[in-house]
A and B are shown apart, each in its own frame.
With several copies, the nearest count.
Chain A
Amino acid sequence: MTVHTQIEPVAGPEHLLKTQRGEPVTMLEAISEALFEEMVRDESVFLLGEDIGVYGGAFKVTRGFLEHFGERRVIDTPIAEGGFTGAAAGAAHMGLRPVVEIQFMDFISPAYDVITNYIATSLYRGAGPMPLVIRGPVGGGNRGGPFHSQNVEMAFFHTPGLKIVYPSNAYDAKGLLKAAIRDDNPVLFEEHKGLYRAPALREVLPDDDYTVPLGVAKTVRDGSDLTIVTYGAMVHKSLSAAETLDVEDGLSVEIVDLRTLLPMDDDAIVESVKKTGKLLIVHEDTRTGGIAGEIAIRVSEKAFEWLDGPILRVTAIDAPVPYSGSLEDYFLPQADDVITAARYLAAY
């Protein structure tokens, strides 16, 4: 059973109380705070993952947690993503709310079976709710090569029963992670490692117990000529492209940050497309079978009449993520690609 405790100022490691002190936090710190506050609030929340205890996680998201919450609630697991994700599912059956860290989300693949076949189908099979969060770092640009750079949303986007969240900033990351932990459905939570400590994303967060609801996109820039639908790190490349397009071309670009990929906020997308008549989708993930397709067909179904041009996309190329910087920069979609695509579409 979930036990809800009062939210009140708590004691804890210094670095997890920045928001309480009114100090700005990075996206990584926002995520740590969300985990910390949820664990304080609800003692059924606990953590499992590789090296999350004494080391505090490969990216230090759970630094200080072991000392504060003890070994019972911060479990260093064997290297067995399938095994410990399955164990988390078992714990969820018993009323706990596990949060699993995958050290790099690329290593979620050994858990593909248990996530898609067991966890996502639990409710449907009559085994009850499955309050379980699987979180970890994703994304390229850090010279991590093919196995430390992947985006994993499309491995799971096709799985009914799952929710998928992918925040682009500290505020959303904290509020969405809290909402994910409180959700009774399994949630995959992707954290772009390029945003973790990005200085530009440091911000002072509200010091109350806010959540950001799952399934609701956010218009992060208003515009009238063109809609860009995007998420994660690409929100920022899109914003920078939009600035250039404004200054150099006088183009007014609207940007919708999906925040939750599954379920998708169709209304927000359709509303924007109805306003601008032009849709560009930008995602960091590879092209074929990327999320752009699903967005396109939903818009086709719901707003075909409003389209004044083709639905286009800017994405990574269809290859494994290459290691060297020069290759990876070519591989990834860049702000310049967004600019070129937007110009093409605007002129259409």
Chain B
Amino acid sequence: MSDRSSYGLGRAELHELYRALTLTRAAEERLEILQKQGHVTGGLYRSLGQEAGAVGAAFALRRRDDGTGDFLAHTVRAAGALFLFGGELEDFFRQYMAKGSGPTRGREANLHWFDFQKGFVGPVSPLGTMIEIMAGITLTFRMRGEERIGMVFYGDGASSTGAWHEGLNFAAVQRCPLILMVENNQWAFSTPTHKNTRVATFADKGPGYGIGADSVDGTDVLEVFDTVRRAAALVRAGEGTRLVELRYFRRLGHAQHDPQEYVDPALIEEWEKRDPIAGYRDRMLRNEWATEEELSAIEEEVFERCRIAAESVVEEPNPDGPSAVYDVYTDLDIARPWTRAEPAVP
């Protein structure tokens, strides 16, 4: 489509997209500050250059907070989708800081969290699993005759796993209303995509499952939105499962501890020029979808929200050690260490 097309989106929606993009980046940048201050537990994952994929895709779904909307399974690189689905910024920071006040109460890391009312289910680390889970979730939509659909994100590397295949094939055969978003950022940790798959584009994988597939420039939030909107319409209309590839580039290391020495700096430079946020900003101004003032206001608002949220969450308490025994079973307590009781008796 032409640079001028807003794909039918109104000014408010175009601004909302910009807010979601900048929020993603600002939240992650704030995390880096928190990490330097020693507040972050474990690894820190950035989506720099990939923000438009998550935001554009999630924006095309029906988001509700009463358990009737579409359903999302995000990855650690899809914070933008999570925010659009109502994931709270505070919870984002709580999770990264392993706070007892966070949705997993310090038991699980970063974006690995859940809200079935808002309609999202966070990942587990073993790659591929969430396609199986989302196949089951969307199966229930079909079984119950609900109009809801699901969306699951995964990186290019995850496509090598058996879980990816078993989940996608099950969904395809059962006509589960599910869209698989392949975040093809050209790397899986240090491994280039061609060492994970021999296909040139993940769209080639669709026919192998008998499903429709699209591939889209993942740095163009409006293109992504439009592609996914059309895919979602087909899925909702009963076509079953589809796949959408997002093409972009992981501009930082796998996690903050990875200096990505294995990446040609020229490539990074090239992709910096295609920054999804800067690009969209320019386009908005060029097409007069927003004024400089409006955009600056959004940026400032988002920056402040992140600063304030982070600052308040830092103060929140860590979980209480002994709470580690709860919630292994719904109906049983697991034993506390006998060596920590008074008196200590086996």
Chain A in direct contact with chain B (Cβ < 8 angstroms): yes
Interface residues, chain A, with chain B CB atoms under 8 Å away:
46, 50-51, 53-55, 58, 72, 75-80, 82-96, 98, 106-107, 109-110, 113-114, 117-118, 121, 123-129, 143-148, 160-161, 163, 183-185, 215, 263, 287, 301-302, 310, 312, 314, 317-320, 322-331, 333, 336-338, 340-341, 344
- Quick one: given A80-B170, A127-B114, are A145 and B108 in contact (CB under 8 Å)? yes
B328 with A123: CB separation less than 8 A: yes
Interface centre among A89, A91, A327 (most CB of B within 10 A): A327
Looking at B17-25, B129-137, B265-273, B276-284, the stretch in contact with chain A turns out to be B129-137
A326 with B136: CB separation less than 8 A: no
Is B7 positioned at the interface, with any CB of A under 8 Å from its CB? no
Known: A83-B162, A83-B163, A325-B98. 19 other contacts (CB 8 A): A50-B189, A55-B262, A76-B190, A79-B127, A86-B136, A86-B163, A110-B166, A118-B126, A124-B107, A125-B114, A129-B330, A147-B126, A184-B330, A310-B346, A317-B335, A318-B334, A322-B324, A326-B318, A336-B339
Looking at B191-199, B221-229, B230-238, the stretch in contact with chain A turns out to be B191-199
B42 with A125: CB separation less than 8 A: no
Is B206 positioned at the interface, with any CB of A under 8 Å from its CB? no
Contact of B124 among A98, A117, A336 (CB under 8 A): A117
Contact of A323 among B109, B116, B137, B345 (CB under 8 A): B109
Contact of B107 among A80, A83, A86, A323 (CB under 8 A): A323
A78 with B160: CB separation less than 8 A: yes
Question: In the bound complex, how far is the Cα of B129 from the Cα of A325, in angstroms?
Answer: 26
- Quick one: given A79-B157, A327-B324, A344-B346, are A89 and B329 in contact (CB under 8 Å)? no
10 A–B pairs (Cβ distance < 8 Å), ordered by A: A83-B170, A86-B135, A90-B136, A110-B166, A113-B129, A117-B124, A123-B327, A184-B331, A325-B41, A337-B339
Which B26-55 residues have C-beta < 8 A from chain A? 41-42
Q: Which 10 A-B pairs have the closest CB atoms?
A: A90-B136, A86-B132, A83-B166, A324-B106, A330-B321, A87-B136, A147-B125, A78-B160, A324-B98, A55-B190
Interface residues, chain B, with chain A CB atoms under 8 Å away:
41-42, 98-100, 103-109, 112-114, 116, 121-122, 124-127, 129, 131-140, 143, 157-158, 160-163, 165-167, 169-171, 173-174, 188-191, 195-197, 262, 318-325, 327-332, 334-340, 344-346
Return A168 CB to nearest CB of chain B, in Å.
21
Return A208 CB to nearest CB of chain B, in Å.
23
A94 with B137: CB separation less than 8 A: yes
Contact of A337 among B99, B114, B197, B337 (CB under 8 A): B337
B112 with A125: CB separation less than 8 A: yes
Return A287 CB to nearest CB of chain B, in Å.
7
Question: In the bound complex, how far is the Cα of B165 from the Cα of A121, in angstroms?
Answer: 23
Return A223 CB to nearest CB of chain B, in Å.
19
